[in-house]
Amino acid sequence: MPKFFNSKSKQLEGDIDGFLDRVTTAGLIFQEGVKAYVIGKKDKFEKNYKDITDLESDADNIRRDIKHKLYTYMLIPESRGDVLGLLETLDDIVDICEKVLEQFSIENPEIPEFLKSDFIELSELSSKTVEEVVKAARAFFREIGMVSDYVNKVHFYEHEADDVEEHLKRSAFNSDEIKRFSHKVHMRYFAEKIAAVSDVAESVAERLSVYAIKRRI
């Protein structure tokens, strides 16, 4: 019986780690994709977009598999709800990363030179929040005391992202270089979309800090 318990647990441990790896990768591909688009490397961007689409469906499958196993084998009855909630919201991050690249691919926004650095910085900060929230999630599984450290970092980067987003939007609307109002609105729209990644990461971090309190022995 102990072997049975252990093998299932180890399998799930691997599945969860695999899922978390994919979330981190999604954040990185997202960052690279935005950068590639902004600096005009369209081929690289399309490759990033394809990669993230594959990754998104892959992450979905793993999450469903974990859910199925947790219920079938009656594992972690106490924290099952929290763990599934955590994985679902982390999956939302992957979804939104994919959606943003999809919007770039469909709408082909025209990024003026003076906004490029802001867009790149914003995507970097958003990706950073994803990286830190995944670390917080790993800590939730292994080292509960560390969760708050990573959650603080998520808050920090999200705040930074907010600042850059605001700066980007102000620059767009105050600029004479962008002639059409619709173009300014388009820039605002993409700034908000990219920043939304960090917002979702922050809400996952909020959940995590509550779960961590509940899980303390």
Partner 1 sequence: MLTIIFFLSSGLFLGWSLGANDAANIFGTAVGTKMIKFKTAALICSIFIILGAVVSGAGASHTLGKLGAVNQLAGAFIVALAAAITVMWMTKAGLPVSTSQAIVGAIIGWNFFSQTATSMSSLYKIIGTWVFSPILSALFAFLFFHITKRIVEKSRIHLMRLDSYTRIGLLIVGAFGSYSLGANNIGNVMGVFINSSPFKDISIEGLFHLSSIQQLFLLGGIAIAFGVFTYSKKVMMTVGSGIFKLSPVTALVVVLASSITLFLFASQGLHDLLTSLHLPAFPLVPVSSSQAVVGSVMGISLAKGGRNINYKKLSQISMGWVATPLASAILAYVALFFMQNVFMQSVFQ
Q: Which of 8, 41, 67, 167 binds partner 1 (CB under 8 A)?
A: 8
Minimum distance from residue 157 beta carbon to partner 1 (Å): 25
**Residue closest to 183 by CA, chosen among 192, 194, 196, 172:** 172
How far apart CA 183 and CA 209 sit, in angstroms, is 40
x/- string (CB under 8 A) for partner 1, residues 11-50? -xx--x----------------------------------
DSSP label of 176:
S
Taking contact as CB under 8 A, which single stretch among the options 43-51, 139-147, 151-159, 186-194 is the one that binds partner 1?
A: 139-147
Taking contact as CB under 8 A, which single stretch among the options 3-11, 46-54, 124-132, 196-204 is the one that binds partner 1?
A: 3-11
Comparing CB distances to partner 1, the nearer of 106 and 217 is 217
Residue 72 makes contact with partner 1 by CB under 8 A = no
x/- string (CB under 8 A) for partner 1, residues 80-119? ---x------------------------------------
How far apart CA 209 and CA 150 sit, in angstroms, is 10
Q: Which of 21, 39, 79, 188 binds partner 1 (CB under 8 A)?
A: 79
210 HSE (CA, 13 A, CB side):
10
Within the chain, residue ranges assigned H as helices are 2-38, 42-72, 80-107, 113-142, 147-174, 181-215
Query: Which tokens in the block code for residue 130?
Result: 């994803």
How far apart CA 98 and CA 49 sit, in angstroms, is 7
Minimum distance from residue 121 beta carbon to partner 1 (Å): 34
